[in-house]
Amino acid sequence: MTALLSSWETGLTMLFGSFVAGSTPLGGGAVAFPVFTKVLQVSAAEARVFSLFIQSVGMTFATLYFISQRVFIDWAVIARGMLYAVLGQLCAVAFSVTDGLLLKYAFSCFLLLVAILLIHDKRNLVINLNDRKRRYTFSLLTFLGGMITGYLGSGADTLLFFYFVLLLGSQARQMIPTTVTFMALNAQLGAVLFFVLDQQPSEFVVKSWFFAAPVVALGAPLGGYILTKLQPSHILSFVIVVIIVESVSTLLLLPLHPIKVILLSSLLIYVAVILLLKLKPTQVNKRDMPVVCEEQNG
């Protein structure tokens, strides 16, 4: 009972994190990593290991839910992407980063850059790539996704989402089941590599995983179910809110160097300005509505 009470923070964190994992392209690690490192004062290394272990459960259950409901998952894309993600994770192992504060800061910057891309007009971001450039871009982003996952415990799904939705113009809701499955396999790979390297999880990781695993096994499929009911615009809005909260927490809770504070603040201000500019025409320019409907139908 004492262990259960002492782990309530983990369970509460992953109750929300598992919902994010099943319904967005961020993954549960986008919640677990910042909360553990900045609120619960857990080391970045332990937070990364926990993120990999817990996502290997939650996002796998979300994948099983999608399969049971016959939701489309692009297995061919996942198979090709995993070839490069494996190399990325191996590079993260070979060139390890031990500076926990740097990892926390890099994680916030990475998410903010994703938010900036998400809130720009997708029609202006879609790039007309030929087949050769498309293959190269896919290889690079899945490789980087594997490497970022090796350092932070999440990120592979976010970069795959970026490739399909922002570069190729695919619909967000249609691609998230594929990105969730991709992250589930990356989390399993990261967990396997951890043990192959003959490492042992800390007591915190073991205890937290034990109490959080049942939570994410239910929460991630619930997020997947809600995903099938939401409009793409609502999904993206929820993702951006999560990113902004995470980034603000970095500014408030971490002892950052002034240059890092300036850069992170600049990114946040840029996100806020784009949001304000985007909200005004959305509210009054009803002539854009048919264009949105065409995108959704396509």
Model confidence pLDDT, tens digit, residues 152-162? 888 888 888 87
pLDDT, position 149: 87
Dihedral of CA 42/89/267/13: which sign? Answer: negative
The residue that leads in pLDDT, 87 or 97, is: 87
In which band, very low, low, confident or very high, does the pLDDT at 290 lie, cut at 50, 70 and 90? very low
Angle 210-212-214 from CA coordinates, rounded to 5°: 85
pTM of the model: 0.76
Of 47, 114, 105, residue with least CA distance to 253 = 105
Burial class of residue 149 (count of CB atoms within 10 Å of its CB; 0-12, 13-18, 19+):
buried
Of 155, 122, 152, 211, residue with least CA distance to 27 = 155
CB of 146 within 8 A of CB of 186? yes
In which band, very low, low, confident or very high, does the pLDDT at 13 lie, cut at 50, 70 and 90? confident
pLDDT, position 297: 43
Distances from the Cα of 32 to the Cα of 15, 28, 242, angstroms: 10, 6, 12
Residue type, position 294, single letter? E
Chain centroid to CA 238: how far?
A: 12
Q: Where are the domains of the chain?
A: 2-297
Model confidence pLDDT, tens digit, residues 177-236? 898 899 999 999 999 998 888 888 888 888 888 887 888 787 777 777 777 776 767 777
